[in-house]
Structure 1
Amino acid sequence: MAFKAPTPTPKGLWRRTPPAIFPPVLGLLGLALAWRRGEGEFALPTGLSDMFIGAITLLALFAVLTYVVKFARRPAVVLEDLRILPGRAGLAAGVLSLYLLAAAIGPLAPSEARPILLLGLGIHLLFNIAVIWTFAKGPAEQRRVNPVWHLTFTGWIVGAMVAQSLGLPQLGKVLFVVALVAGVAIWAASARQFQRESVPAPLRPLLAIHLSPAALFGTVAAGMGAANLAQAFAIISAVLLAVMVVKARWLLESGFSPMWGALTFPVAATANCWLAVGGVWRLPGALMLIAATLLIIPIAAKILKLWAKGQLAVKTNAAIA
């Protein structure tokens, strides 16, 4: 059988923007917001976190722009990206990044941040519909529960956290309940599946995503004044993180890949959670913030380097517009 050469990317700017760029962008946004909280908690020099947030916001806006251009060339390309796991994970992270962009500018321009939050909610709803449609039309293997489902269906908790920060507590409570139902269902299904099946080494970094909902539920519960619930989720996040650390060699057995982007946002969310809960979690939160910084920035830099070299789209099989 003759070898078939890969289809070359047609000429034109950003025709093959890889969705895999969004998980590290989401992680960097989460880290920047965690540093904003840490700056207030520990009386650090003011303005440093805003400089960091400003730089990451520009990066996030550029990443969004490149995918919007790809989408504008051929809207159906989104459905093609959704057929593969890196595409679904990346696009889900891109949607959640919109929420964090609203949170980033919230303290400076709340009237401009709220429309971004609402835009994120609308796009998130459409994204959920598109994913469900893809599952219905695609092979059964696509419908297997995996940690990326948290980004898609439990990701409303990110909107809840941002709604709180923008002075919309009732919206935050509604989104919290929706996300909690989805999150518990996905955790339960994942636990049953994990007992029956082993996870291939290249996909194991995605397991870190299970940490994100616990941390985010704790952050939102703290914002609602539900201290006991916040403490419970802080403990759950600590247990999940401890398991990740103990199993780090197994988790990362296949070596560095763009899938490592899935490690970034969970650790940033955990640092933010522990700082938000406060009390006995204050010092662990500070240490976690430092550890998250040392982990997220190198991973994000390596993935950004792959993107700049044009290798990220090939490695993650991104669709071509």
Structure 2
Amino acid sequence: MQAPSMDPSRPIVEPSGKSSVRNLPVNLFASVMGLSGLALAWRLAHDRFGAPAFVGEAIGAFALGVFVLVALGYLTKLAQHPQAVRAEFQHPVAGNFFGTIAISVLLLSAVVEPYSAAAARATWTIGVLAAFALSFVAVSRLLKGQVDASHAMPAWLIPGVATLDIAVTGGHMPMAWASEINLFAGAVGAVLALVLFAMIVSRLVHRDPLVPAMTPSLMILVAPFAVGFLAYVNIIGGIDRFAALLFYFGLFMFAVVAPKVFRRGIGFSAAWWAIGFPMAALANAALKYADFRASGPHGVLAAVLLGLLSVALAVLTVRTVRSALDGALFS
């Protein structure tokens, strides 16, 4: 017999109409991912274009502050409503967004590295453990069998991308064991992301389109290739033709999904933060590739992607703050 199907578009907890921390979604950690990625992109822009250094550092500090606020909120939810957290973790789609916590921690290790190498090492190690644990859980769930194919959503990619991010942020870690961990993470993350990417594309081709509220998550399809580029470059220590292939396919996927995501009729919710990190990864990849090629068109492309990312995250930040102040974010 096939296990009962769960509609992935339905709320995990039925809405009560009241504003409560019980309704704080775990995918709000994606805001930290996007902002941290933006901070790292502006650091690269400082090196490539001479952009003001304080911009990236200010955004990094803001990302750290957002992480503290969201983490405190979610810990409060865990303490007061553990059943809601359990339901979220066990959900076939939303459960994958717990990977946003691991990615946030890994990216913040890169943000704080210029200020404290010890804090960066400790933070990165915590992120490594969390990313591997979540990848293990995700694969174990899939191998139980009887998984409804309609649950193959872009969010499934998050655990694999989290594992790839170990290599993205661990390239400069001085520990003797870090290089082997980066290789292990690259192997697990790359294969897992590609297998799940194929499953998700198959679902998108053969099943009904995503409901409008889930449409922003299509941007996650860019992440395996943009993050894969960054991870591969860190592992081998340079950019070669295979790295270029990863970058260009990530750029192609962005061109395909952007018109589907950025269109009228999709209301604002925390789910919109799903666009942040994939766009940030692509902008960082473009900046690195432009620096490698040292050509004008590549530099223009990188600047355009950074500008689009900056505007998108500024809008999302303002909308999220407004939603939190009027209580809609918690209702």
For this structure pair, what is the TM-score category when the shorter chain's length is used for normalisation? 0.7 to 0.9
Call closer, same or farther: CA 1:190–1:133 in 2, change over 3 Å. closer
Is 1:293 the counterpart of 2:305 in the alignment?
A: no
Structure 1 residue 219: Cα displacement: 1.5
TM-score, normalising length: structure 1: 0.84
Which of these residues, 213, 226, 232, is aligned with residue 221 of structure 1?
A: 232
Call closer, same or farther: CA 1:9–1:294 in 2, change over 3 Å. closer
How many positions carry a matched residue from both structures? 307
Which of these residues, 186, 204, 208, is aligned with residue 194 of structure 1?
A: 204
Call closer, same or farther: CA 1:35–1:294 in 2, change over 3 Å. same
Which of these residues, 260, 277, 296, is aligned with residue 265 of structure 1?
A: 277
CA-to-aligned-CA distance 1:81-131 (integer Å, 9 cap, x gap)? 124477435422222111111111012211211111111122233334555
**2:223 matched residue in structure 1:** 212
Structure 1 residue 292: Cα displacement: 0.7
Give the structure, 1 or 2, with the largest relative contact order (CA under 8 Å, sep 6 or more). Answer: 1
**2:7 matched residue in structure 1:** none
Tell me if structure 2 keeps the 8 A contact 1:222–1:277: no
CA-to-aligned-CA distance 1:135-162 (integer Å, 9 cap, x gap)? 7899944883211111123321112111
2: CA distance, partners of 1:153 / 1:5: 31
Which of these residues, 62, 71, 93, is aligned with residue 64 of structure 1?
A: 71
**1:306 matched residue in structure 2:** 323
Structure 1 residue 79: Cα displacement: 2.0
**Identity among equivalent pairs (%):** 21
Is 1:91 the counterpart of 2:98 in the alignment?
A: yes
Structure 1 residue 189: Cα displacement: 1.3
SS in 2 for 1:295: helix
TM-score, normalising length: structure 2: 0.82
Q: Structure 1: 5+ residue runs without aligned partners?
A: 315-321
What letter is aligned with 1:309?
D
Mapping of 1:165-184 within 5 angstroms? 165-167=172-174, 168-184=178-194
1: CA distance, partners of 2:210 / 2:24: 26
Call closer, same or farther: CA 1:74–1:259 in 2, change over 3 Å. closer
What letter is aligned with 2:100?
A
Is 1:54 the counterpart of 2:45 in the alignment?
A: no
**2:163 matched residue in structure 1:** 156
**1:245 matched residue in structure 2:** 258
Structure 1 residue 186: Cα displacement: 1.2
Call closer, same or farther: CA 1:154–1:21 in 2, change over 3 Å. closer
Structure 1 residue 239: Cα displacement: 0.5
SS in 2 for 1:155: helix
2: CA distance, partners of 1:78 / 1:129: 19
